[in-house]
Structure 1
Amino acid sequence: MPQEAEMLAKKAGESGMCEADYLRLLISQKPNDYPEVRKLLKELINEVNRIGININQIVFNNNAGLYSKEDKTQLVAYMRKLNQKVNKAVVQIGNQ
């Protein structure tokens, strides 16, 4: 627990607030209130949409019997990229 108290004191100090005011701010705001989070989520949504289109094309090829080994490789690459983007967003949002 002392680690959390130190982190709270540091973050409150960086914001120019006392710890109580900083906690009130955190409680009263939603993540969407932070411009950085909104921007990050918008970028993530756009990336997920682009990757989703590519995945849909691969699935269409699979259903049409045109699925190739290259499609499987691309699908795995898209899924990895998607996981990386989501994990990066989770880390960045968690650090807000």
Structure 2
Amino acid sequence: MIPRELYLKKVRPFMNTPVVKVFTGIRRCGKSVLLQLVQAELIRQGVDPNRILALNFESAADNRIRSTASVLEAVHERRQLCGPGRLYLFFDEI
């Protein structure tokens, strides 16, 4: 994976704020890679990987995620695992 330092510099100031971040762009421009880079950056900053929930809505691995209820269930399961504190949610290919 190629580091995209220019984009990460723009994202870093907002990483630990409660504001929803949305990455948009044309197909195959690197949005999914940017999501992965942000996740890696959070882990480098000391965030427990269990506090990161990444769901790809086009992935066969995440095929159980097909409704709002199933997304909420996945978030609830992760919350049970982690307990109180910030949970980082990454939704790709929505």
The interval holding the TM-score normalised by the smaller chain is under 0.3
TM-score (norm 1): 0.25
Higher relative CO (Cα under 8 Å, sequence separation at least 6) belongs to 2
Greater radius of gyration (CA):
1
Report the structure, 1 or 2, having the larger strand content.
2
Report the structure, 1 or 2, having the larger helix content.
1
TM-score (norm 2): 0.26
